[in-house]
Amino acid sequence: MNNGELLVSKMPDVLHAARQIRQGELTSVALVTACLQRIKTHNPTLNAFGDVYDIAALQEAGDCDRELAQGRLRGPLHGVPFGIKDLFSTQGLRTTKGSLTSLDYVPESDAPIIARLKAAGAIILGKTATTEFGWTGSSVSRVFGHGRNPWNHALTSGGSSSGSAISVAARMVPAALGSDGGGSVRIPGAFCGIFALKGSLGRIPTWPWSATEMLSHAGPLTRTVRDSALLFDILSGPDARDHQALPEKGESYLARCDVPLGKVRVRFSPTLFNTPVAPVIASLVAQAVAKIADGLPVALQVGNLDWPNPFDTFNTLWTGGRGIAYGAALVDKSGQLDPGFATLISRAAELDLAAYLQALKQRAAFASQVHALFDEVDFLLTPTLPILPFAADRHTPAGQPAGNSGVEWARWTPFTWPFNLSGNPAATVPCGFTADGLPVGLQVIGRRYADGEVLQFCAALEALMPWDNRQPPGVA
């Protein structure tokens, strides 16, 4: 059995794949071949990928193998294949943004995150599914088919980085890129049982301009914390096209993960804004927190926070940003839009400038409360989500009352988007499984700009309660 055949049953993570290729234990062609086989096997059911560049990817993998034989290494990701969320601009490659209105759009330039991935030697294997313009936390899609959870195919994977999370959890690729404007890497990360970090606002530069740029972050979805740390090392840093991009971080996040954790102050809030949490989630998260308190050097505080619910603030900023920016351009294409996105556009038309400016003021006030907490603690822990995955063809869980906002999905994700408002780094870590085999996520939030500290803490959590040894049924 050759390396490619072996990999069909055991897909390496990013660090292992890159090291095996460098050391000659694995060829890039074998790895890409294995990924393509897994996509062929699982994608018809799970709907993770749209366009797949099988011929081009195999050709590039062959080039990588020949270059390595000649002693040339493109970078730390030499020959490793990735999935790319179909919101990111990819030069010469179709970028549908998950919309029937953009099926023929081909960007002329790469987004910074794509250029840096290529410069590190990675291979773009294909574009992964996203909801229409990334507007919702579900996995409903008219372009790709509804994204399905690898742990239970009847259920949603979460979104909007649905295909990226599915592809990583189902071992179609070692890792994938996503974006997060309200939870879009953490929601599917939690539902699919993988690791995902939304870095500090501006940590990884974004471009082209986003209609909700003050909320939107770019970053990887991975199986392990160290894979994420490596990718944050590669993808972070200023870019002239993103005026929010942060300066050089001045440290290696991957190296930080190997530094033993010192005494840290941790606050566990079992819920936020008095949101009911499913009992099985509350129990598994509480068990994980107890294990953390027993196994790591933490000073633990337990208690809910008395922050006011900023839902209306987020609704105004998200609905106004997405709806007004896209509304005028899509006014003649409403029949091609997801009905939920069309509703968002109509709600945006009802907003005025005074309401939008007031929401910006309210956002600043809420963010100040969040930042003040981190004068007293190093990390805040919450459940990532208060509910388990629901049916794959729904935007909201059955039983959620119909609402009148443009972001009804934000009502079932109340623990993720508040930290887009504040800009804090926030990660989801798998922390247990239900009796039915569904993963549950624990959210780790750090002080603003402390991405390295969050990764270091999450690496300690992974060592304490490892998760990557468990795979979805039918994938192992």
Contact (Cβ atoms closer than 8 angstroms) between residue 150 and residue 191: no
Contact (Cβ atoms closer than 8 angstroms) between residue 205 and residue 241: yes
Cis peptide before 208 (omega within 30 of 0): yes
Contact (Cβ atoms closer than 8 angstroms) between residue 8 and residue 33: no
Tokens of 98: 């998950």
Find the catalytic residue in 99, 102, 161, 184: 184
SS3 132: helix
DSSP state of 309: P
Number of Cβ atoms within 10 Å of the Cβ of 213: 17
The dihedral formed by the CA atoms of 313, 319, 324 and 328, expressed in degrees to the nearest 10: -170
Q: How far apart are CA 154 and CA 193, in angstroms?
A: 16
Find the catalytic residue in 28, 99, 160, 236: 160
Query: Is-catalytic flag, 184?
Result: yes
Single-letter amino acid code for the residue at 120: A
Tokens of 61: 């993998």
Residue 217 makes CB contacts below 8 A (sequence gap 6+) with 179, 180, 181, 185, 198, 199, 201, 203, 204, 206, 420
SS3 268: strand
Closest by alpha carbon to 141, among 87, 99, 194, 89? 99
Contact (Cβ atoms closer than 8 angstroms) between residue 317 and residue 363: yes
Q: DSSP letters along 344-405, please?
A: HHHHHTT--HHHHHHHHHHHHHHHHHHHHHTTT-SEEEEES-SS---BTT-SS-TTPPP-SS
Find the catalytic residue in 85, 118, 127, 198: 85
Tokens of 78: 């030499």
Q: DSSP letters along 93-110, please?
A: B---TT-GGGTT---SS-
Contact (Cβ atoms closer than 8 angstroms) between residue 168 and residue 221: yes
H helix runs in 243-278, sequence order = 253-256
* CA distance to 43, 275, 304, per residue, from 314 (Å): 34, 16, 21
Known catalytic residues are 85, 160, 184
